[in-house]
Structure 1
Amino acid sequence: MHNSLLRGTTALVLLSLAAPGLAQEADPGFLGTLILTAGKRDLSFGTALSRTVVDEEEIEDRQASTVAQLIDSVPGVTLVNGTTPQGSGINIRGFGANTTYGTDQKIAVQIDGASVGSEELYRIGTQLFTDPLLYRRVEVIRGTIGSFAYGSGIVGGVVKLETRDASDFTHGETGVGGSQTFEYSSNGAGWVSSTNLAWMPARGTEFLLNYTYRDQGELKAGDGSVIGNSSFQTPSYLAKGRFTFGPEDAHSLMLSHSNTVADDRDVPYDQFGTTGGSFGNVDRRTDTRQTVLEYRFDPASELIDLRANLSYSDQQIDQQYVAGSSPLESSPFFGSVRALADADHRYETTKLTVSNRALFDTGVIGHDVLAGFEAQRRVRSENGAAGAPGGTNDRYALFVIDEMSIGRVTVTPALRYESSRIESAVPLAGAPDVFEKDALMGGLALAYDFGNGLSVFGSAAYTEGLPIIDDLGTSATALRRMNTSEKSRTLELGMEFTGSSVFAAGDSFTIRANYYDTELWDITSYTVSGSTSTNLDHVSSRGFELEASYGLANGFYLDLGGHVGQGTEFNPDGTSRTWRNSPADRVQMTLGRKWGERLDLSWEIVHATDRMDSSGAVLPDVTLHNLRATWRPRGQRWLDDTEVRFGVENLLNVDHVGHLASPSRKSPGRTFKVSLTKAF
């Protein structure tokens, strides 16, 4: 592992220093972001954030069936335990989804600003039930330094999803527009229909309706075996309106509502597994809803860009045990198994975030300040029989981030203060019913631009994870967790370069490499292996990430992404072992060529090593090949605004188990996909 890390370090540093050629000036903006595109992947330049954007074209190009499957190509991101919405989870830099719960509260997922998918429900995955085709953009911010406007205790990062707009289909003109997409995949005979209807009756007024139905049968692995518990049906819809008004269109109001339903019959309670096992099977219906109302006031003043975002997310999971499906029905333990399998869950989150961005100067220092406050109420239904205590969690937060530019130097301090009050839904015998905690957290990012396309950056960040409703209880372990905030610090250091005509006339080249080192202590989320009550002493995780994009004037492009790292978990007795959620070492390269807007052909190679399954058993290295093609026919009027996409995933039909997946859950074998989209 150390040799692998050393080789990765050397390679990344050498690549980062390859900086001849002409420079492109960065347009700092908030946290210094400039999006550059040479191939498929948008890269951020001029920012201390480890940030990756998957845009609408790549969302359609990847033909992913879940959001988790869509973003597992981002360095440091692992898709835990499958490609179905029920069983899969998102892990970033070793934090997030794990082998027991779909989340550990250390990544944040937001849809148009609404917080979603963050309950610790036993063996029920990440609860991120939504369809990729509802979205125009997915942004992944890795690490802590970019998280202070989104929440506390964020160690892995933030996943921000932005729903589509009517103007995406009407191109900002009044009238009616839309699109229809049909998609078919050979493995499991999966099919998708996605319909968008957009209407702009007048300037400043727009409406969008989307309905997507996704049906996936049982998948097959590379050896031809059926992957149990891999079928699903998820109808989804999105309704969205936007109104712009006032002098110079300074005011805008956006309202969006999205809903996804997964209605599964006679499926394993344990969504991480492929069979019912001891828990048996259940009929499970999961109904997920998000509603967002956002007001923006952006007058002709650099001091005012005000946003008020009010969101409500609601998820209800109704379950009923299927009689005769558990081998424990005749045992005395069956009562607790039945209670778990019959448990219904519901949790609702209402959140208001008000922020303002201001641009001003104080002497030679230019400021780009984002300041705001957040109020959140989370209500969870009581279901103690399922180990899911109910209660109410009220949180209030203040945050400020000031990007200060002094010549070529950018200094960005960030602060967040958050207070939390949790009240149990039922009296706790011998224990308090109310728990209060607060914390001050923050970070500092530094960047220096050499003026020739090369810049260096670094950051240090500290955050605290405040107690959560899931930890309510009367045991000594529960009381310790409810009175302890989990703490972490992350250090990052990196270089980046962007330029044009670097290796050939008219080419474009962007590369970014960064090292991160994270330490987590006062742990309440993870117990010592084999124990249910003794927490780990601390966890250490560190690694290198690389993203690069190169394009030639003739349309050839190369995208490269990779991660090399290691993690260690430390027990209270001083012993240690490999961190159970460590991401694999992985490199992904895409070679392709574009013929204008008409044709795009690409070949993606993914190699992963240092892998393990959810039990900690070592998995062999794996190399996968994926082919993709996008064709936009021209010349015939009836073919205009038509896109045909074709893909082959796991071209060589490799039989393998995914990193951190259950040993019994293999990854899909060779899959052919084809989609047809017609805009109107």
Structure 2
Amino acid sequence: MDRSATLRRLLLGSVALVLPHAALAQSEEITLAPIVVESDREVQTQTATPVTVIDQEEIDDRQASTTAELLDSVPGVNLVNGSTPGGSAINIRGMGAWSGTYGTDQTVQIIVDGATSGAEELYRIGTQLYTDPALYKQAEVIRGSVGTFEYGSGAIGGMVRFDTKDASDFTNGQDGFAARQYLGYNSNGDGLVTSSTLAWQASDALELLFNYTWREQGAYEDGNGETVENTDFATPSYLAKGTVHFGQDREHSLTLSYSDTQSSEKDVPYDQFGSSNFGNVDRDVHSKTSVLKYSYDSLNSDLVNVDVILSRAQQTIDQESSTGSTMSLLNADQDYVTTKLTAKNTMEFVTGQADHRLRMGAEYILKDRLDASSAPGGDDERHALFLVDDITFGGFTFSPAVRFEDQDIDGSEYGYGTYHNTALMGGASLRHQWASGFAVFGSWSYTEGMPILDDLTNAAYMTQSQKAETWELGVSFDRRDLLASGDRLALKVNAYHTDVWDVTSYSNITDLEVEGVEIEASYATDAGYYGDLNASFANGYNRTPDAASNFWSQQPADKVRLGLGKRFDSGLNLKWEGVWALDMDRATTPTPGVVLHNVSVGYTADSGMLKGVDMRLGVENLLDEYYQPHLATRPAPGRTVKVSLGRTF
């Protein structure tokens, strides 16, 4: 199959729609009023991209102990040991986490405020997503590579984007000071969290924010009442962020943010997955992310909306054997820095009967890593160009995308080679929506995972990119007043098929195939009753010739999550949630299924003496079930009571 020819035909076929005509006409597209689904999560029915957005309210309701735990309710997303920041790893559509060996395979990208963060292939260490969930106001998960070309390459599994909080989120755009104090307690392991936020909006031109969060937890117990060793942690974090608006009607803005998280562990196993015994270490982890963003949204032209983002993400892992062992693995210090400069312009214009929202941009990415045991050092320098256009006409939305990357890898400082690679990738989606609220959509994408520093010890991999092609097909429905006056229903069903070849992420594997169906739905009535449904059913296959097993070893179990609740006008919210993890027998080591029950009560006061107060009480794994999720290397927590109290002043 000539994938590059397919890509060229796709791009050439979209040129006529991309270039503006001399004569512009008004579009006749069908535009429906946005539907707000008053449930826990709004289903993103307005796009063909398989994307899920977790907003601030859901972040608060989840009371997650780790950043990874914010994501496990998304269909297609599974965690490996998500209850600890060090050992947790993210798996999307069977890609990402390499259970028991590496926390990532470079097919799931993590971006914080535009900065590429974490996700090094460090032996027996997780995804390195140490940052605290209290720092974020939104998490967005894109499953698969459709919708990712604006942000990076090689995202076969998908992408996670986090947005940190802003001062205006607390001041509501009004001049003056605002503060928020949050306290939380976790019964399983006596977990404690305190998060303090100060926000100041001096005027409509200046806003400043500072947050400090301390989170700690002891070793938790599983459903049998047994203590799961080495699951305790303490992670102090802070975020400083400021924005200056200037120019006519605040056309320009400049935002500077810095986030910092630390972790210190003494005499703990080197293997954060707990599946092998190499010995104990003293380990200090320090994650630092700096982002400077300039934006210019012209009031005089819809063709000028510029964003320039300069980011620097650094993580250092200092460790040494706590018993005096000279084993190099136990005494390896890791230090890696990713510097990225992204310049993008968004143009809105009309050509004939088509409306365009065109994003064009360029990126410079430099990853610099020191040499260490099991993690070769060197520089990975990339230059990239990308173009994405959302074209709407007559009820249709056509979204072609293309990305070109030029890469230079240099490991000569540490005795490795130098290599040069290029890749052209892209795809497109097509969606049609009717006035009834019903829509159909499909997409195709081709991406390449460029060679990585981790493979410098294997010269054959340094000129071989990992390639993947994904086809998707789906339907959605979004409508109010369907069964009763004032109700709202949103539904999205997405089927996908991904082929991966020239595999470099896994030993003795050359070809993979994953396919599945993801379902998201929400329903709410005018009386405050609501329901949310998220489900994922998937299969993964090892298509390598003469493979010992046809099962794809990283394929998660099928999962269904159903939530039912009632919101009261007083600000009270009651909810029950059931989680069905089905039997996983499509694996060399099967995992039995489990049914979990979670309940929660939340209260937010909007007026009176308690205005600004929110209280939450939740019980996870209500029946204290013992279970170990498929791909996990340790049992999950047993019954856990979580309580929190927050106040915004």
Matches within 5 A, 1:586-605: 586-596=559-569, 598-605=571-578
**Paired amino acid for 1:675:** S
- 1:123 counterpart SS class: coil
Shift of 1:537: 2.4
1:640 aligned to 2:640? no
> Aligned partners of 1:458, 1:555: CA distance in 2, in Å?
34
Aligned with 2:472 (options 478, 492, 515): 492
> Deviation per CA, 1:170-214, whole angstroms, max 9, x where unpaired?
110110001000000111011100000001112220000000000
Contact 1:96/1:102 (8 A) holds in 2: yes
Instruction: Report what 1:173 is aligned to.
Output: 174
Instruction: Report what 2:355 is aligned to.
Output: 366
Shift of 1:162: 0.2
Instruction: Report what 1:482 is aligned to.
Output: 462
- 1:601 counterpart SS class: strand
Contact 2:410/2:418 (8 A) holds in 1: yes
1:583 aligned to 2:572? no
Shift of 1:250: 0.4
- 1:95 counterpart SS class: coil
- 2:70 counterpart SS class: helix
> Deviation per CA, 1:356-413, whole angstroms, max 9, x where unpaired?
1101111112211011000011000011xx1211000100100001111121111111
Aligned with 2:419 (options 431, 435, 454): 435
Contact 1:390/1:425 (8 A) holds in 2: no
Matches within 5 A, 1:655-674: 655-662=626-633, 665-674=634-643
**Paired amino acid for 2:225:** G
Matches within 5 A, 1:491-570: 491-527=471-507, 535-570=508-543
Shift of 1:35: 7.2
Instruction: Report what 1:399 is aligned to.
Output: 386
Shift of 1:302: 1.0
Contact 2:450/2:465 (8 A) holds in 1: yes
Shift of 1:504: 1.1
Kindly tell me: are residues 150 and 597 of structure 1, through their superposed partners in 2, closer, same or farther at Cα, counting changes over 3 Å?
farther
**Paired amino acid for 2:173:** G
Aligned with 1:446 (options 414, 430, 440): 430
> Aligned partners of 1:445, 1:340: CA distance in 2, in Å?
46
Contact 2:571/2:604 (8 A) holds in 1: yes
**Paired amino acid for 1:466:** M
Instruction: Report what 2:266 is aligned to.
Output: 265
Instruction: Report what 1:287 is aligned to.
Output: 286
> Deviation per CA, 1:83-105, whole angstroms, max 9, x where unpaired?
10010111100111111111111
**Paired amino acid for 2:37:** T
1:206 aligned to 2:195? no
**Paired amino acid for 1:553:** D
TM-score by length of 1: 0.89
Shift of 1:617: 1.5
Instruction: Report what 1:414 is aligned to.
Output: 401
Instruction: Report what 1:46 is aligned to.
Output: 46
> Deviation per CA, 1:43-63, whole angstroms, max 9, x where unpaired?
212211001000001101000
**Cα RMSD after superposing both structures:** 1.6
1:462 aligned to 2:459? no
Shift of 1:576: 4.1
Instruction: Report what 1:3 is aligned to.
Output: none
Kindly tell me: are residues 635 and 356 of structure 1, through their superposed partners in 2, closer, same or farther at Cα, counting changes over 3 Å?
closer
- 1:438 counterpart SS class: strand
1:630 aligned to 2:602? yes
- 2:224 counterpart SS class: coil
Contact 2:512/2:544 (8 A) holds in 1: no
Contact 1:389/1:472 (8 A) holds in 2: yes
Instruction: Report what 1:14 is aligned to.
Output: none
Instruction: Report what 2:318 is aligned to.
Output: 318
Shift of 1:599: 0.5
1:340 aligned to 2:329? yes
Shift of 1:633: 4.2
**Paired amino acid for 1:397:** A
Contact 1:148/1:399 (8 A) holds in 2: yes
Shift of 1:311: 0.2
Q: 5+ unaligned residues in a row in structure 2: which ranges?
A: 1-29
1:355 aligned to 2:344? yes
**Paired amino acid for 2:247:** G
Contact 2:66/2:82 (8 A) holds in 1: no
Contact 1:417/1:438 (8 A) holds in 2: yes
Instruction: Report what 2:5 is aligned to.
Output: none
Kindly tell me: are residues 246 and 564 of structure 1, through their superposed partners in 2, closer, same or farther at Cα, counting changes over 3 Å?
same
Kindly tell me: are residues 322 and 616 of structure 1, through their superposed partners in 2, closer, same or farther at Cα, counting changes over 3 Å?
farther
Shift of 1:500: 0.5
- 2:328 counterpart SS class: helix
> Deviation per CA, 1:339-369, whole angstroms, max 9, x where unpaired?
1011000000100001011011111122110
> Aligned partners of 1:505, 1:173: CA distance in 2, in Å?
36
TM-score by length of 2: 0.93
Instruction: Report what 1:30 is aligned to.
Output: none
> Aligned partners of 2:585, 2:98: CA distance in 1, in Å?
13
> Deviation per CA, 1:542-577, whole angstroms, max 9, x where unpaired?
000000010000000000000011000123326642
Contact 1:382/1:425 (8 A) holds in 2: no
Contact 1:81/1:88 (8 A) holds in 2: yes
Q: 5+ unaligned residues in a row in structure 1: which ranges?
A: 1-23, 28-33, 330-334, 528-534
1:121 aligned to 2:127? no
Instruction: Report what 1:531 is aligned to.
Output: none
Contact 1:348/1:378 (8 A) holds in 2: yes
Instruction: Report what 1:619 is aligned to.
Output: 591
Kindly tell me: are residues 634 and 509 of structure 1, through their superposed partners in 2, closer, same or farther at Cα, counting changes over 3 Å?
closer
Shift of 1:454: 0.4
Aligned length: 618
Kindly tell me: are residues 130 and 35 of structure 1, through their superposed partners in 2, closer, same or farther at Cα, counting changes over 3 Å?
farther
- Work out the percentage of aligned pairs sharing the same amino acid: 45
> Aligned partners of 1:176, 1:203: CA distance in 2, in Å?
13
> Aligned partners of 1:447, 1:217: CA distance in 2, in Å?
49
Contact 1:78/1:659 (8 A) holds in 2: no
1:109 aligned to 2:110? yes
> Aligned partners of 2:428, 2:128: CA distance in 1, in Å?
33
**Paired amino acid for 2:272:** Q
Instruction: Report what 1:649 is aligned to.
Output: 620
Kindly tell me: are residues 90 and 35 of structure 1, through their superposed partners in 2, closer, same or farther at Cα, counting changes over 3 Å?
farther
**Paired amino acid for 1:284:** R
> Deviation per CA, 1:261-297, whole angstroms, max 9, x where unpaired?
01111111000017xx531111100000000000000
Shift of 1:81: 2.5
> Deviation per CA, 1:560-605, whole angstroms, max 9, x where unpaired?
0000110001233266421111121111000001012610110010
> Aligned partners of 1:407, 1:199: CA distance in 2, in Å?
46
Shift of 1:449: 1.1
1:389 aligned to 2:376? yes
